[in-house]
Each structure stands twice: as structure tokens, then as C-alpha cells.
Chain A
């Protein structure tokens, strides 16, 4: 077992434990903090698998931006910690059975597929190489993604503005406070 393999299994354990903690915490703030650790683990995994630029993006966007946005919203909304659990195993038995069947089938297909047991050889795509590849082959997709980001921005702003314009309506509703 090489050093790379040791690092990979350590990272896998870190990611799984942090994600499991995030899924099971009652307090959303605790969940978000442990999820940040999970995303740091994913970033190191990306680095190990030869994608240093994506590792940086994972830290900056996932751990840095998205999770902090979640924290802001959780703190702003004062989310109730005592959350109703709507999960009873008996009622979910058919879904669990189908899910386990699906898991077994997919695991089988992953392990039976020829070449899937082949070892991954270390390689590295430098950010320059990666950027050149993306902008030479996928420039249209980059444009579409940037348009999507713009639309997301507009949607977020409009969702906020829609409430204000409603309150200007004469005799509008029950007069909710802003």
C-alpha cells in the first residue's frame, strides 16, 4: 500500500465521518460546520486525484461561499433546533428495501465492470492546461454557466423584490411585517 493509498483512505474516512455527522446533527449550525470539514476533505481528494485548480475552487466556492451562505441564512431565520423527525422506519420499509436492492445492483455493476479494479496512476492537470482545455473545447458551456449564474442572481433579487412590490398594492393582504 503506497503513501497515496494511505492518504486516500484517511481522506475517505474523514469525508464519510464528517458527512455522517453533518447529516445527523440536530442543530443546523453544527451540521454546516462539520460539512465544511467534509468539503475540505473533498478538496484534498481532488488534489490527490490530480485536479489542483478544482481543489482550490472547492475550498473557495463550496467551503467558503456556499457554506457561509447557509450559515447566514440559518442565523437570520432562527431555525428551530427541536425539529420534528418525520422518519419512521416501518413506514419507509418499501423505500428502504428498494434502495438496498438498488445499492446492491449498483455495487455489483461497479465491481463486475472490467477495468474498474485497475489502479489509478497519479497524474496532474495543471491549472494552465485545464483552463486552456476548458476554453478551447467548452467555451459555449462556460458562457451558458455564466448566464445561469446571472439568472440565479436575478432570481434571488426578484424573490426579494416581489414582496416589496406586493406591499405597495392597495389593501394588500393581511399586512405582513417586512
Chain B
């Protein structure tokens, strides 16, 4: 016996909430991407807990895919941030108020 299932759920919810706060309150694109990573990690925690709760391996399989998507997303996202930084010299999303490349 480890813990009630909903305690794991509440932990993942809290972590997801922290990631959401990170996205909303920071004016820095790198920190926004970090917030997305935190939220994906929270989703992975929920999937692993569901896998052990219902004794199904599908949950663990989906965590594998979540990790793959997170890796791709962060590679493309950081490449975009670097490209935008080359043009504007800033990582503040409010500075990207130009449409002329």
C-alpha cells in the first residue's frame, strides 16, 4: 500500500498549476518554455499513477510518447527563441511587435 490515488493526482495538479503560473507571470520566453516542460511533467506523473492504479501498461507507454513530444517541442521552441533573439536582441515576447522580417 503506498498512498491514496487522489494524493498523487493532487500532487500532479499542484505541479501543473505551478507551470501555469510560470507561463502567466514571467516575461521571458525561455521561462515560458520551462513552464510548458513543468506542465508536461505533471501530465506524465498522472499517467504513471493511473498506470499503477488500474494495472494497465498503457499509461506508462503514453509517458514515453509524452517525453518524446516534450523533447521535440523544446528543441523547436528553443530554436525559435534563438532565431527571434537574433532579430530583436531580446527574449521578451512584448518586444516582438514587428511583422516585417
Interface of A toward B, CB cutoff 8 Å: 2, 4-5, 8-9, 12, 15-16, 19-20, 22-23, 28, 31-32, 35, 38-39, 42, 45-46, 48-51, 53-54, 57-58, 61-62, 65-66, 69-70, 73-74, 76-77, 79-80, 83-87, 92, 95, 99, 103, 106-107, 110-111, 113, 115-123, 125, 129-130, 133-134, 137-138, 141, 145-146, 148-149, 151-153, 155-156, 159-160, 162-163, 173, 176, 178
Contact = CB atoms under 8 A, between A and B. Distances in A.
Interface in B1-44: 1-11, 13-15, 17-22, 24-28, 30-31, 33-35, 37-38, 41, 44
Contacts of A42: 41, 44-45
Contact of B18 (A20, A46, A125): A20
B38 A22 contact: yes
B83 to A, nearest CB: 5
B80 to A, nearest CB: 6
Interface residues of B, number: 72
Contact of B60 (A9, A99, A125, A156): A125
Contacts, number: 238
A28 B5 CA distance: 34
Interface of B: 1-11, 13-15, 17-22, 24-28, 30-31, 33-35, 37-38, 41, 44-45, 48-49, 51-53, 55, 57-58, 60-61, 63-65, 67-76, 78-83, 85-87, 90-92, 94, 101
Contact of A62 (B7, B9, B70, B72): B70
